[in-house]
Amino acid sequence: MPKLQFDEKVCETCPTADCLVKCRFIDVDKDQAKAEMLRIARGEDSIVFDSCVTCYACEEYCKRGNHPFYLITEKREEKGLLTAPRAITTQWINIGEPQGKYKVGQIGKKVLSFGYMPELLDMAKGKLFEDLSPSFVFGQEFFCNVVYIHFANTSIIKKRLPMVMENFKKLGVEEVVCLHDECYGSFAHLAPAYGIEVPFKPIHYFDYLYERLQELKEQLRPLNIKVTYQRPCSSRLSSDKHRRVRQIMELIGAELVEREYQDENALCCGGIFAMLYGYDLANEVQTKNIEDMISHGAKYCVFNCPACQNTLGDKVAKKGIIPVHMIDLCKMAIGEKPLPEE
Ligand code: SF4
Ligand code: SF4
């Protein structure tokens, strides 16, 4: 069974304990933060179990290669501290259960992975994907399963993720372009943290889009719009790819407004908060986030994950900000889709 690689000695000598010092949901100073992480690592009780709302951010805050959030999740599960009622957890686990109903295209050495996100199937068409789109995978058999860390259930990930890797291995693929941000996080971050072998090179679709847009440079027309970017919780597992947002916006002539809740200080869409911790927390986070977008002059909100767009898209639209997925925005920049009027 895969085992989390977490070294408590790395925490003992940590000069910042940024994992919890920076956590916006837990109020501790450096000494207490370090003490709490060590208590968790040693299997003791901690205030963190009561307050952590599973935002994933400490995975990005820790710059020492330890895995604070994965550890919190492991220990919660060991102690039976579920984050959601058991029926809801079970329902979610059933959604990701492999059913043998997966779809694969004409598989080449490089494939597009839709994970288990039907919204992405229609999006990955046109010039941006013309060479790659025939070679794809879709379904639970290729689903990253990372969502279960929100539910304090790493055992299901440890069981299923090696099976997912085996499914890719059987296809003989060498590179997988992940259109689902969380799938990339799973293959590039979570799997290595658990010592799970990844038999291909995972590629984030931001890297793919950036390269493809450069190839199509002649067709690019600056969009001349003010946008904000809605960062998903999953991108805490691929923070090295976040720079691509700015680079892509520069390439397509979209001005990324500077605002408070961006980059490392981003607020998530609140979808998981509504489900696990109630509407008050979700509303509080969403209201702060949207007011921040408005007060900094954003006219469009660019989404990375379709699930975030499902959660927050209508809410930003009601406030006069146009929701648009990153892929659609790139299609608009090459003239393949009309830009919705402000
Ligand atoms: S998890 Fe990372 S940031 Fe937190 S105390 Fe340990 S080494 Fe430091
Ligand atoms: S996952 Fe988020 S809420 Fe939980 S400890 Fe880490 S930063 Fe705090």
Query: For 293-306, what is the mean pLDDT?
Result: 98
Give the distance (Å) from ligand 1 centre to CA of residue 9.
10
Q: Do 319 and 252 share a structural domain?
A: yes
Q: Do 221 and 131 share a structural domain?
A: no
Q: In this predicted structure, what is the pLDDT of residue 341?
A: 82
Q: What is the pTM of this model?
A: 0.96
Residue 279 lies in a domain: yes
Q: Do 231 and 319 share a structural domain?
A: yes
Q: Do 123 and 23 share a structural domain?
A: no
- Token look-up 């055992």 returns 155
* Ligand 2 pocket residue status of 52, Cβ below 6 Å: yes
Quote the tokens at residue 3: 């085992």
Residue 340 lies in a domain: no
Query: For 271-287, what is the mean pLDDT?
Result: 95
Residue 311 lies in a domain: yes
Residues sharing a CB contact under 8 Å with residue 257, sequence separation 6 or more, in sequence order: 226, 227, 228, 293, 296, 297, 298
Q: Do 234 and 200 share a structural domain?
A: no
Residue 342 lies in a domain: no
Query: For 87-110, what is the mean pLDDT?
Result: 94
Among the listed residues 229, 239, 185, the one whose alpha carbon sits nearest the alpha carbon of residue 18? 239
Residue 280 lies in a domain: yes
Quote the tokens at residue 174: 């060498």
Give the integer Cα–Cα distance in Å for 30 and 21: 6
Residue 1 lies in a domain: no
pLDDT in tens, 62-81: 999 999 999 999 999 999 99
Instruction: Tell me how many domains the chain contains.
Output: 3
Q: Which of 9, 10, 38, 264 to mutate to test the pocket of ligand 1 (most atoms within 8 A of CB)?
A: 10
CATH number at residue 233: 3.40.50.1860
Last residue of a domain, one of 184, 205, 226: 205
Among the listed residues 193, 174, 154, the one whose alpha carbon sits nearest the alpha carbon of residue 59? 193
Q: Do 196 and 260 share a structural domain?
A: no
Query: For 26-31, what is the mean pLDDT?
Result: 98
Residue 37 lies in a domain: yes
Residue 321 lies in a domain: yes
Average pLDDT over all residues of the chain: 97
Q: In this predicted structure, what is the pLDDT of residue 297?
A: 97
Q: CB burial class (10 A; 0-12, 13-18, 19+) of residue 318?
A: exposed
- Percent of the chain exceeding pLDDT 90 equals 98
Q: CB burial class (10 A; 0-12, 13-18, 19+) of residue 63?
A: exposed
Sheet holding 225-230, edge to edge: 254-256, 225-230, 300-303, 322-325
Quote the tokens at residue 147: 């969502």
Q: Do 121 and 181 share a structural domain?
A: yes
DSSP letter at 91?
H
- Token look-up 């904000």 returns 228
Q: In this predicted structure, what is the pLDDT of residue 342?
A: 76
CA 330 to mean position of chain CA atoms: 20
CATH number at residue 127: 3.40.50
* Ligand 2 pocket residue status of 58, Cβ below 6 Å: yes
Q: Do 122 and 73 share a structural domain?
A: no
Number of Cβ within 10 Å of residue 340's Cβ equals 14
Give the distance (Å) from ligand 2 centre to CA of residue 43.
18
Expressed as residue numbers, the domain containing 61 is 8-79
Q: Do 115 and 59 share a structural domain?
A: no
